[in-house]
Amino acid sequence: MTMTSTELLPARAGSGESDAPPVAHLLFHDAGAAMAAETAAQLGTYAKLPLVAVRGAGIHLFDAAGRDYYDFYCGHAVTLIGHCHPQVVAAIQDQAARLIFYSNIVYSDVRAAYATALMAAAPAGYGQVFFCNSGAEANETALKVSRKFTGRPTVIALAGGFHGRTMGALALTSNPKYKAGFEPLLPGVAFAPFGDLDALAAQMDANVAAVIVEPIQSIAGVRMADPDYYQGLRALCDKWGALLIFDEIQTGLGRTGKMWAGDHWGVIPDIITLAKGIASGVPMGATLLTTRIAATIHLDEHGSTFGGGPLVCAAAAATLDVILSGDLPAHAAAMEKRIRDAICGLPHVLEIRGLGLLLGLHLDIPAKTVQAAMLERGIILGTSGDPNVLRVMPPLVVTAADIDHLAATLDAVLKEL
């Protein structure tokens, strides 16, 4: 017998009737009603833009009224190859029809294929990957692994870095506003100034298990250091026998104009963490380990029920294939030049920070003012922890025409402010 969605819902005790209407009946086609309902039902931990997103295609995001927005923010850099890329959609649909989930207690053909492809694309010396569900979980894994591998208690993080909101990842995150009310956090974490090798060297000793760094500190205002700094990090960690962890949750898989951020400086870290765009919006994280570290991790020492499930691996495999087959890192580098050429010199723009398609516009006026004005004109941009930095993080499939539209609109907005 075929059951309807209504019949599959729990029944009220003693009534035989459905406890609630099917979810499809709860969809709100009026934007105001949807916003009000979400505000009432969801914990109020997010400041939201005033639009109800219902559909996406490439760089375009459509709201409940059908308005088309150019998405130059990608929901925190998540839609790496654009919204609903046809290859990813097809992979998800095919896998959903075959097998949505089974845990790591069994082998998976799609997990095997994706893990193999990802490790083939990893930097030299990398051996294995641990799959999880988010960037915070990927960084928690890196934290556990580095302490076990070295037998040391201390991890040094960099001021301005953001590594997640779970208790371990939050301990690695420097901004006190994220920590207020949640202390005490995980002990054994120290902080050093970002970009200052001498200050870091003064803190290094035989107790340091690892140094964790975002190659580009996105939420802090798209902050970078000089190339010598990243090379110096590698040298300091080697000198003291500590591990170097690159949090590439936003920078990885081509967004900076190269496949891995370390490729810009000839630096290979010991551990790389990934999330955000790895599966085009299906929740996924990954911790990549060099062969020498992976060899020390044994049965039952770590786990994640949903990590590397078939559905998410199908999405991630399709995402990686699109990135590699289209040479999207090189395209990101070319589009960075287009953005810089088009925006440099506009009113109120003091500096363009970052690499590839992870860029920050340092303004002499509040970024939120510009963000709001651009949203009114149908372009989504991001702000940051620096109130004067506007983040520009389009999908890697952004075109020259998209960028020209951004620049023309931004020029008009900035001339009005």
The domains located in the chain, with CATH, are 87-325 (3.40.640.10), 328-416 (3.90.1150.10)
Which pLDDT does position 30 carry in this prediction? 82
What is 346-414 written as a DSSP string?
-TTEEEEEEETTEEEEEESS-HHHHHHHHHHTTEE-B--SSTTEEEE---TT--HHHHHHHHHHHHHHH
Assess whether pLDDT exceeds 70 at residue 311: yes
> Which pair of tokens denotes residue 107?
């082998």
ω before 347 within 30° of 0 (cis)?
no
- Average of per-residue pLDDT across 369-387: 98
Assess whether pLDDT exceeds 80 at residue 11: no
Select the more confidently predicted residue: 269 or 33. 269
Which pLDDT does position 225 carry in this prediction? 98
Assess whether pLDDT exceeds 70 at residue 223: yes
**Catalytic residue (one of 131, 149, 194, 276):** 276
Is 162 one of the annotated active-site residues of the chain?
yes
Percentage of the residues of the chain whose pLDDT score is greater than 90: 90
- Identify the bridge partners of residue 190 per DSSP, sorted by sequence position: 156
Rounded to an integer, what distance in angstroms lies between the CA atom of residue 213 and that of residue 271? 11
Is 411 one of the annotated active-site residues of the chain?
no
Residue 176 backbone phi and psi in degrees, to 5 = -65, -25
Rounded to an integer, what distance in angstroms lies between the CA atom of residue 359 and that of residue 369? 18
- Contact predicate 287/141, CB 8 Å: yes
Which pLDDT does position 31 carry in this prediction? 87
Q: What is the DSSP letter of 12?
A: P
Residue 339 amino acid letter: I
Tens digits of residue pLDDT in 41-78 = 999 999 999 999 999 999 999 998 899 999 999 999 99
With CA atoms as reference, report the closest residue to 147 among 363, 322, 301.
Answer: 301
Assess whether pLDDT exceeds 90 at residue 25: no
Cβ burial, residue 170 (10 Å; 0-12/13-18/19+): buried
> Which pair of tokens denotes residue 147?
């302490």
- Contact predicate 259/121, CB 8 Å: yes
pLDDT class of 18 with cuts at 50, 70, 90: very low
Which pLDDT does position 22 carry in this prediction? 54
Which pLDDT does position 13 carry in this prediction? 36
- Contact predicate 285/134, CB 8 Å: yes
- Average of per-residue pLDDT across 120-148: 98
- Average of per-residue pLDDT across 104-121: 98
- Identify the bridge partners of residue 352 per DSSP, sorted by sequence position: 361
CB count within 10 Å of CB 410 equals 26
Rounded to an integer, what distance in angstroms lies between the CA atom of residue 398 and that of residue 10? 45
Which pLDDT does position 20 carry in this prediction? 52
Q: What is the DSSP letter of 382?
A: B
Assess whether pLDDT exceeds 90 at residue 5: no
Which pLDDT does position 10 carry in this prediction? 32
Q: Compute CA distances 131 → 112, 236, 307, 308, 326, whole Å.
A: 12, 29, 5, 5, 25
**Catalytic residue (one of 247, 270, 386, 402):** 247
Which pLDDT does position 417 carry in this prediction? 93
Which pLDDT does position 29 carry in this prediction? 66
- Average of per-residue pLDDT across 168-190: 93
pLDDT class of 19 with cuts at 50, 70, 90: low
Cβ burial, residue 156 (10 Å; 0-12/13-18/19+): buried
Residues whose CB falls within 8 Å of the CB of residue 39, separated by 6 or more in sequence, listed in order: none
Give the position of tokens 């029944």: 11
Tens digits of residue pLDDT in 26-46 = 567 688 888 998 999 999 999
Sign of CA dihedral 193, 195, 198, 200: positive
Which pLDDT does position 17 carry in this prediction? 45
Which pLDDT does position 106 carry in this prediction? 98
**Catalytic residue (one of 162, 194, 258, 270):** 162
Assess whether pLDDT exceeds 80 at residue 3: no
Is 191 one of the annotated active-site residues of the chain?
no
